[in-house]
Amino acid sequence: MVTESSNAGSQVGSTPIPVASNRVYISNLSFNATEEELSEFLSSYNVKSVLIPSQTIRGFRKSTVRPLGIAYAEFETGDETVRVIQELNGTQFKERVLKIKPYVPYSPCAAEKRPNRGTKGAKNQQSEVPEELRIVQADDAFLEEEMTVVAEPQVKVNSTSQQVPLSEDTVYCAYLPGKVTDVELREFFKDYEPQDIYVFRSNGTRRGIYFHRCFTAALVTLGNPEFLLNAISNLRKQKLMGKRVTLRVARLSKIQEVQRAAVKKLEEENLRLQADQPQVGPSEPVAAN
């Protein structure tokens, strides 16, 4: 018979935990738990980001959003990840006993190695763990800057990590409060001479499993490249408008994407203003008496 948390913790302590990344998968989570509450619960382990996936159930009159009872969390180091599994697996959070294990990215090769048990066995095997696999398959970079991610069961994740060009002076801010503006962000980064600030929002409108129903993010360009890492290190420990946010070095591709969107929006507004102006025709000559 398997005992609960205390023995499990000692067993984990004696056997090294294979950790492929700095992320953990949390199950048996209370449906009433929020990302802010779970982030506060994990705050002593230097948690970077917390994600609670939810599903939109569309009805005749209205749609309801229901969490899936699972979560993902990313930490600063692999050591913190091991500590979380050792110390918090089997503990209670909001009257539910948490089950915490290392996050294992979906591998198509591993899925192909499963023994074929025939048509009936394959159907049973598929029905046993479809939901968890769908979430893990959805996006190996679930904490990247994609605004809305919909789970796709057949999507294959590229396991080869590629070097992504990063900015030298711009911070990417994720999980921002929904009502944040450039005014609050400029005050938040005031010690680092903020220059350009782009705030962008996205609402989930497609069917499926939504990682964020409403996503607010921003790009903040600092006055000096030397401020970049220092700003991220210091400000990620603080709260913006009472909420913990995620800060990291911005990708050049994201900066270019947001700048193009801003230019396009400005052009559309100029065209609209020109269309709203009254058209003045050429003046007609006055007939002589």
Q: Is the per-residue pLDDT at 5 higher than 70?
A: no
pTM: 0.41
Structural domain boundaries of the chain?
5-105, 166-275
Average pLDDT over residues 128-149: 37
| Backbone region of residue 250 per phi and psi (left: phi > 0; alpha: psi in -120 to 50; beta: other values) | beta
Mean pLDDT throughout 215-232? Answer: 90
Average pLDDT, the chain: 72
Confidence bin at 284 (pLDDT 50/70/90)? low
- The per-residue pLDDT for 183 is 92
List the one residue out of 237, 26, 238 whose CA is nearest residue 136: 26
Where b means 16+ CB within 10 Å and e means fewer, 83-108 reads: bbbbbbbbeebeebebebebbebbee
Tokens of 259: 């700048």
- 115 or 186, higher pLDDT: 186
The per-residue DSSP string of 5-67 comes to HHHHHHHHHHS----SSSEEEEES--TT--HHHHHHHTGGGTEEEEE--EEEEE-SS-EEEEE
Which residue bears the tokens 């102006």?
277
- Residue 158 or 244, more confident: 244
Check whether 158 has a pLDDT greater than 50. Answer: no
The helix/strand/coil state of 130 is helix
* Superfamily per CATH, domain 166-275: RRM (RNA recognition motif) domain (3.30.70.330)
Has domain 5-105 been given CATH number 3.90.470.20?
A: no
Within 8 A by CB and 6+ apart from 235, the residues are 188, 189, 247
Percent of the chain exceeding pLDDT 90 equals 19
Q: What is the pLDDT of residues 53-102, one digit of tens each?
A: 876 665 556 666 677 788 889 998 888 999 999 999 999 999 889 999 98
Report the pLDDT averaged over residues 156-161.
40
Question: pLDDT of 190-222, one tens digit each?
Answer: 999 998 888 887 755 444 544 445 678 899 999
Number of H helices, E strands in the chain: 9, 15
pLDDT > 70 fraction of the chain, expressed in percent and rounded: 60
